[in-house]
Amino acid sequence: MKKLGLFVIAIGFMACQSENKSSNTADTANLATSTDSLTFKYDSVKVYSKTPVSINKTVTDTSKAVISYPLFNDEKINQFIESKIKLTADSGKNYKTYNDYASDFIKGYDDFKKSEKDYPQTWFLDIKAKVVTQKPGYLSLLNTYVNYAGGAHPNSIFTYINYNPVTHQEILLDSLIQPGSMIKLTAIAEKIFRKNEKLSATASLKDGYFFEKDTFKLNDNFTITDQGLMFLYNPYEIKAYVYGTTELVIPFSELKEIAKPNSLLSHTN
């Protein structure tokens, strides 16, 4: 099992301003081209609060919201990605644009500071959607959502987005496996999980894990790698926050009787 560490980044801001602009830095501006002629570049929206964190004029820190995302030459793909990114909003609001999303977060901070003038910290929202796999018939992105609005640490959510750029449909797990095979897939995954965690086949999952009713369960947060079908559990999902994310890979060799023929999980694909 591979664990991704979580790092809290202290961000200092030198100016109080609001902006909505494209990002053209060296690590994001390069065009990426795939065999199915899709191209994309990374773009971003950035909104800063005009409310300083301190009445001391020498302290210029303020809150910031940044949303970075790939912009494809196919508008249908862009619309799908935008809809999935905006689902990570925890306000329950229906944002029309990335800028609306970022601006609402900053508005929340500004409204909070009106009643809590002595509050000493800034807030930040950092959302980054990154293309991890791009091939004919399959596009996978990892959407990283980090939100800090007070408290002991930021809230972090890592979500895979799977899409078929040919049919313009989201790829769901049920579309990749044989009907009625979820129980078998779960059993295979549990064996791998217990091996990774150094647990016996009968060891209870109550101690140190958050599985409901002491029963192992797969989630729907997955991607397809060169090694096989990988699931990702977020902080707090099955373990304490300190353990970060948990990855579980099911090799293609274990999916022979489960994968649908000619699917992304089959060896003949």
pLDDT in tens, 211-251: 999 999 999 999 999 999 999 999 999 999 889 999 999 99
Strand partners, 177: 259
Amino acid at 46: K
pLDDT at 9 over 70: no
pLDDT band at 19 (very low <50, low <70, confident <90, very high): very low
Q: To the nearest whole number, what is the mean pLDDT of the chain?
A: 85
Amino acid at 135: K
CA nearest neighbour of 4 among 249, 246, 250: 246
**Are 2-170 and 173-254 equal in CATH topology?**
no
Return the pLDDT at 87.
Answer: 80
- Determine the Cα–Cα distance for residues 131 and 165; give it in Å rounded to an integer: 13
Amino acid at 197: E
Higher model confidence: residue 28 or residue 112?
112
Q: What 8-state DSSP symbol labels residue 213?
A: G
Count how many Cα atoms sit within 13 Å of the Cα of residue 102 in the half-sphere of its side chain: 23
- What percent of the chain stands above pLDDT 90? 67
Residue 150, by phi and psi: left (phi above 0), alpha (psi -120 to 50) or beta? left
Q: What mean pLDDT comes out for the span 63-87? A: 95
Strand partners, 66: 46, 126
- Determine the Cα–Cα distance for residues 101 and 186; give it in Å rounded to an integer: 36
Tell me: the pLDDT tens digits for 177-217?
999 999 999 999 999 999 999 999 999 999 889 999 999 99
Annotated domain spans of the chain: 2-170, 173-254
Note the pTM of the prediction, 2 decimals: 0.83
pLDDT at 26 over 90: no
pLDDT band at 268 (very low <50, low <70, confident <90, very high): low
Q: What mean pLDDT comes out for the span 167-181? A: 96
- Determine the Cα–Cα distance for residues 233 and 213; give it in Å rounded to an integer: 18
Amino acid at 265: L
- What percent of the chain stands above pLDDT 70? 82
At the top level of CATH, which class does the domain 173-254 belong to? alpha beta
CATH for 2-170? Answer: 3.30.565.40
Tell me: the pLDDT tens digits for 78-105?
999 999 998 866 567 788 899 999 999 9
pLDDT at 38 over 50: yes
Q: What is the dihedral of CA 31, 35, 36, 41, to 10 degrees?
A: -10
Q: Which residue has the tokens 């959607």?
A: 129
109's tokens: 């901070």
